[in-house]
Structures are given as C-alpha cells and as structure tokens.
Amino acid sequence: MKKDRGKIALLVSDSLKAQAGAEALRQAHDWAPFAEADACVVLGGDGYLLHVLHRMIDSNAVKPCYGINLGTVGFMLNRNASSRPIAERVHRAREVEVSPLAMDAVGRDGVHHRFYAINEVSLLRETRQTAKLEVAVNGKVRMPELACDGVLVATPAGSTAYNLSANGPILPLGCRMLALTPISPFRPRRWRGAILPESAKVSFRVLEPEKRQVAAVADQKEVRDVAEVHITAARDHRLTLLFDPGKTLEERIFAEQFQA
C-alpha cells in the first residue's frame, strides 16, 4: 500500500549542475522541512543519493527518496526530463525497497567499527603484498585461504557497481541474495565467487596481518588495518527509493544484463 507523500522535502547536492537545476524546482512547490516531510526529492548524482541515504540511516530518520539525476551516471535516480509537476511525479512513483548491509570491522588495535553499505562492503589490500583472507559463512570456514587484491559482498542494488566491474554477477532486486566476489584472485585462481542468501553472515579473517595489511570499506566509510570483518543484512534499516512508472531500478538492472 502506497504511503502518504503529501509533504515533500528538497535535498540538493553542492554541485553547480544540481544547484542550477534546483532553482526552478524551489519555485514550483511548497517544500516542507526534512523533519516534517513524508518523502524527499534528491537532486544530484548516485554519490549524493548514497550520502543522503546514509545520513538517514545514521539519524534513524528514513524516508522514501525520489532522486533526479543531475550528476553523471544516475543509475539509482530518475531522468531530469518531465513536464509533470514534481508533486505528481512523486505521488505516481513506484516504490523499490533496498536492504543495506551492516559491516562490523575489528581493527588490529581491537577497536570495533560498525558502518552500513547500500552498494557493497569491500576488503582491499593496503600494500604491494597480496591480501590473504580466511572466508567463513555462517560460522563455517568455506575457504581457509584466499589470496587476492581484495573481495567484496554486494547487495542486488549494488551488484551493477563495483561488483560488476570485478566480474561479479548481477542480482535481480527482490531476490534476497548477496554476491560474494573476489577482486583479482591469485589463489585459488579460478574461483569466481559465490551467490549467498541474504540471511548469511559472511566473515573474513586477515591472515599474516603484520605483513599484509587490509582495509575494509562500506560504501565510502573506510577502516584501515583490520583483523576481521563480519557482514550481515541490516533488515531493520530497509530503504525506499521512488521511480517513475516503467523506469524502475529493476528494469535498469535487467537492461544492464543485455548490453552488448
């Protein structure tokens, strides 16, 4: 059932393109403050939308977001081309639910860090030395040693981003699966990764950490020199993106798989 979207807030990136595009919108609607809004219009690129969604998670104030692309790629946003009033576009939009990941990283200094990822959590070597990782799923070691430049766990929404560039699989929205994808694996050389249920807990332990330092990154948040990392689906922080009818994120993920 579609929730009330009567009060709408406007959030705009600092980029010159987004600021220029916001001028007409500011005059076209009676915008509400963010705290009182039922939904948000977000102007900018994918990076700014991710910034807004992370800010909502951190403040525990999650609202449906209708993004308008005034950035570069705009994979998670709507096109900036419509003659319809903005309030009508937001009201007619279809909802797409996105589940982020929770990354719990423990540094070699023993400090615990928790960050959320909407696209992916990645582990990356910090030095010229190949990273060596133990890979466990649901507490059972599945790979005693993975030698690689890194490894990542991607959500369906993030499966067309870094994951795809690392030759990982594209996951349909709503499949409740995760992609576990190695980055330039050396041993085992032919391992292509795995597709796991969203309920899985994925854990990595850094082997030879004194010699082979590894950083963990949840979207833009980085923890350097980690000892172990645990990744789970954050089901209590589900997010809602709004798309014009016929232009949903699901359709874009399908289209990505049939590009020449």
Which is catalytic among the residues 14, 30, 46, 104? 46
Tell me phi and psi for residue 25, to 5 degrees. -65, -35
Residue 119 is assigned to a ligand binding site = yes
Tell me the CA distances in angstroms from 119 to 5, 143, 151, 181, 203, one per residue in order.
26, 24, 14, 13, 18
**127 in a labelled binding site:** no
- To the question of whether residue 67 is assigned a binding role by annotation, the answer is no
Residue 47, annotated as binding a ligand: yes
Residue 163 assigned ligand-binding role = yes
Is residue 227 marked as binding? Answer: no
Both tokens of 49, joined, read: 């939308």
Query: Is 110 labelled a binding residue?
Result: no
> Do the annotations mark residue 97 as ligand-binding?
no
SS3 for the chain, per residue?
CCCCCCCEEEEECCCHHHHHHHHHHHHHCCCCCHHHCCEEEEEECHHHHHHHHHHHHHHCCCCCEEEEECCCCCCCCECCCCCCCHHHHHHHCEEEEECCEEEEEEECCCCEEEEEECCEEEEEECCCCCEEEEEEECCEEEEEEEEEEEEEEECCCCCCCHHHHCCCCCCCCCCCEEEEEEEEEEECCCCCCEEEECCCCEEEEECCCCCCCEEEEECCEEECCEEEEEEEECHHHCEEEEECCCCCHHHHHHHHCCCC
157 is in an annotated binding site: yes
Instruction: For residue 160, say whether it is annotated as part of any ligand binding site.
Output: yes
219 given a catalytic annotation: no
Residue 164 annotated as binding?
yes
Q: Which residues are annotated as a binding site for NAD(+)?
A: 46-47, 51, 119-120, 149, 157, 160-165
- Annotated catalytic sites, by residue? 46
Known binding residues are 46-47, 51, 119-120, 149, 157, 160-165
